[in-house]
C-alpha cells in the first residue's frame, strides 16, 4: 500500500504498467444508459443516517497527485463537485463544478474555472453572467480570439449579436470602474448614454467623437465632429 497526503486509502489499485493501473467501468445493456460512478455527501456523522447538506459543501473531488521526490502530497489539478444552493431542500439542491489547477510554484490546486448552478461559467472569477472572465495579468491581454483558417471568404473572426432596437445594447466596452466607453445599440447606433458621444473615455475627456446633423443636435447620421470636453468643436475636424 501507499500513503497519499499522509493518509493510507482503504481501497487501492496499484500497478507498474498500463493494464494493472487501468480502472475500467463498463455496462452492456440494450439502451442508452451509461456505466455509473457515484459519490455521496451527507452532513450526518452516522453512516446510513440523513442530514441535509449546506451551501458550499464538497460532494466529490477528483484529484491528480504526484510524487515530487519527497512524498505524494502535492496535487497538480482537481475537479470538485460542490453544493451551490443557498437553500438546499429535498430533491431541490443546486450544484457547481470547479476546475482547479496548480501554478508552477504551488503545491495545491486553486480554482481556475467554475460552472455554477445557473449554468454560468467563470474563468478567474465567480461568474455573474453566462460567461465571466477576470484576471490580474501584467502587460498581457485577458483574452485572445484568433481565426487561423486561410481560405479566402471562409475566415471569420468574432460575431456579437444582441438586441434589435435602440433600447438594447448589442456590444459595450467599459473601464474597470464600469463606466461605459463605447456602446453599440441593437439599432446599430454607436453612442454613449451619458452624453450621446460615439467614443469617449469619461466626463473629463480631451477628445470625443460626435455624429451631428449640423444644427448642434447629436443624431445617428450626418456630420462627424471631434470635440474637446470643455471646448467648442475643434477647427478642421468637421468631415462632411
For 2-33, the pLDDT digits (tens) are 999 999 999 999 999 999 999 999 999 999 99
pLDDT digit string (tens) for 155-193? 999 898 888 887 788 888 888 888 777 778 787 777 665
What's the chain's average pLDDT? 83
- Distance between first and last Cα of the chain: 82
> Is it the case that residue 219 has pLDDT exceeding 50?
no
- Core vs surface per residue 35-68: b (16+ CB within 10 A) or e: eeeeeeeeeeeeeeeeeebeeebebeeeeeeeee
Q: What is the pTM of this model?
A: 0.78
Q: Which pLDDT value is given to residue 16?
A: 97
**For residue 216, what pLDDT band results from cuts at 50, 70 and 90?**
very low
Q: What is the mean predicted confidence (pLDDT) over 111-128?
A: 96
Amino acid at each position: 500500500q501507499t500513503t497519499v497526503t499522509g493518509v493510507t486509502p482503504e481501497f487501492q489499485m496499484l500497478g507498474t504498467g498500463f493494464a494493472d493501473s487501468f480502472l475500467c467501468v463498463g455496462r452492456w445493456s440494450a439502451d442508452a444508459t451509461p456505466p455509473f460512478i457515484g459519490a455521496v455527501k451527507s452532513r450526518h456523522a452516522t453512516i446510513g443516517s440523513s442530514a441535509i447538506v449546506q451551501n458550499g459543501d464538497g460532494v466529490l473531488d477528483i484529484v491528480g497527485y504526484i510524487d515530487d521526490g519527497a512524498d505524494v502530497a502535492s496535487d497538480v489539478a482537481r475537479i470538485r463537485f460542490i453544493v451551490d444552493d443557498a437553500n438546499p431542500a429535498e430533491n431541490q439542491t443546486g450544484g457547481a463544478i470547479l476546475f482547479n489547477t496548480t501554478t508552477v510554484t504551488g503545491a495545491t490546486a486553486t480554482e481556475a474555472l467554475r460552472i455554477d448552478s445557473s449554468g454560468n461559467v467563470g474563468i478567474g472569477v465567480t461568474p455573474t453572467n453566462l460567461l465571466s472572465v477576470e484576471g490580474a495579468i501584467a502587460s498581457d491581454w485577458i483574452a485572445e480570439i484568433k481565426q487561423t483558417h486561410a481560405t479566402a471568404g471562409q475566415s471569420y473572426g468574432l460575431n456579437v449579436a444582441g438586441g434589435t432596437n435602440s433600447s438594447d445594447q448589442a456590444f459595450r466596452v467599459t473601464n474597470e470602474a464600469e463606466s461605459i466607453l463605447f456602446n453599440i445599440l441593437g439599432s446599430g447606433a454607436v453612442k454613449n448614454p451619458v452624453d450621446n458621444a460615439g467614443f469617449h473615455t469619461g466626463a473629463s475627456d480631451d477628445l470625443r467623437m460626435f455624429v451631428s446633423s449640423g444644427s448642434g443636435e447629436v443624431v445617428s447620421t450626418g456630420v462627424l465632429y471631434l470635440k474637446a470636453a470643455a471646448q467648442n468643436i475643434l477647427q478642421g475636424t468637421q468631415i462632411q
